[in-house]
Structure 1
């Protein structure tokens, strides 16, 4: 009786344990289903957030959604998720590059804003706060800064067109216009000719630094020709907007071109990867089949040896040998079929190698184009010396080197004397020619370690690192004499062109602005002391 009670107790405990395990199993299954639903929900949200970035990415997500609707095992989606991950990585890299380019454009635009005079007090305070604001994190923050930057540029254009009227801050509300003002005839708008010419020169410089091909490049060249021949203030405002629109359009076209190339390259790589996988599987199958055939032939040969050793009757031996030869013949036929498959596989591998070679050549060519474009970004297209962006980068490098090693560093500003007279008397084409010749002569007279950049208009900046601090005026005098000795001729008339130079050495406690200000003051002294001379600051 006690045994029965003990067994009953054990059964009860076993039943409780089984019930507990069942509850745990139900919980695991429920947890697994919840995790699966959460994963599918996350993928759907990711698909919605990425929609419209790229057609290939949208197609990949659409195919993945179709598979998810059939409730497959997650392990069967590895290939699709890997392809999407690669595309997202490509977009991440492109986004980082876009943020870097946008930040550079914001920094350049901010530097230009600093030099503009005439902002009202409220706008100047807003501009100062904007320039001191942090860079921001994502593309959205940078886009907001670009929009804000354009608002300040619009105010700058209004200063050019309406210098006598107070300007509102870009974020302030639009002022109420009195009815009496509306009924008055529109007054004649005065303008500052110097500011007008400065903005026109800056636009010319900007256009020469741009490197857009096709219709956009031609339209920018037309605008530059208009600027060279002279425009009115209302035309200047319209041209500023046209240049902004063309820059945006050109950037968008180049981005589309890059995306198209990357998409084509990705499709080609996917096709090659698929072909390679198939070829690999086929090679393995052929290797296995060849090994099986070799083993079967060896088996038949051993069987023939056994038959020869165990049969004395000629007729029986003949029949046995005939059977073995028939089997070997079938195996040889299979071997011929495998040889045909091998030839087909070699052809596929050869085609795949040709595709890879073509992709390598296209990628190399694209890389070469990018390198050329990057070089052109730092090159003044008119004079073929470095531009202001390259100057900023090189000056920062030489300044850090000067701080670290203490080797002498000279900064010189060069201005072509009476350059406006060349444009007025002989035309802007003659002025362009003079700029090219002067830039080439200056570049040829410098050392390999020296640096020259076109600073804007008819001004150039030269950096002379590791120069003798007691004799650094000598190489500058050589530059002056080199330009003065060039036999310029315009319309069959010989014209003497000279340059004025202001230079300084970096001193203890200097930053780059300090050296620039001293060199600029020295240049001012040169130009107001008779020109065609070198002054040190």
Structure 2
């Protein structure tokens, strides 16, 4: 009996060591997969950041991504990484030289514009400020180029107005015309628009190469600006469509992830069942050892128990394979979600940058009505698809007409700017604010629960009421009224606008400085 006990004890120790070895191997395998995922993520980000800069670099990055998908030793990819590092270093030098060339061209073009006669003082100050602001990056250089083109547009408009009785050729000498022609050609060459806008830009460039009279040159410059704006709008709409697709992919990944969680729970239950059966067999063995002094008479039962152990071992191995496959699927989903999230954030930032340039209210520096209509329609489509909570609120400044009448429109404009900035600071990054009318603002708050939206709107109302205004040596207290509602049922943007207006009227009729919901 003591021999059997020793055997059972040794088997138990060996089983524990086997389990520990399996856990160690699994940890090492998970760590290796995590490192591969991190490397893949780095290569993906590098590909996005460097895309289009150098054809050879794009090819090498694509090949490296393909290699990472193969089950190979990572150390064998070090030579490829060294090649990519050399290409990136070379591209950095090229970018630095290109930035310097652009900086020189901006300075040269600005100096040419400064020599144009008849420009107003404000435009000259804007031009001087632009030239004094040195570029710190290629992106900053592009922004300065856009600003310079805008100054050229303003100059051309002013010159066209001031030349009613003067021939245009007397206002612009041949050197300036030549400079403007070259700059327009260079701008068109730098643009990469597809479709009809791209074809029209190429046609304009061909005309510039042949040579055009001064009046036609001005018309072509304005046409180029219009085409750039139209193409930018088209790219923004394409980006919004891309975001909708990415959001759909995220929803699908979330659904499959939930399914994997369910599978993981089922595996956990199966593992628990195996452990219970194993415990039962161990108890049976211990009981048999105590009850049978002659082990030969107990051999048939031991044989059956051994078979059961073998079955349990096979089932356990099958469970381990399922767990391994599940872990790999979850790791793939995690990497996919991370990539999609980064792409979504990148496109969201690009859209925000475009909107801030084209859809800002000139006084309050929040979005205007055009931006509001566009965003409301976009959020409405998302609500139809996902049915997430979508809150819309309308804010009105109480007794704003009296502020204008008592302290002047300058004081009213100052109050509008401060209140708009305060409301914006109280909102989350995903929220949206626009100037709806002269003294009204509309905000859109997607994906927010009842408690948080109520707290947020009350915080806006209370914060504005505490702002310290002072006009004509007098301390002035300004309050706001808020009406809010939610998208429900068959609501459309028009229904929501009407309902928020009704809620706002109720808030103002209730004594002002109030916040009222209408469902």
TM-score range, shorter chain: 0.3 to 0.5
TM-score (norm 2): 0.34
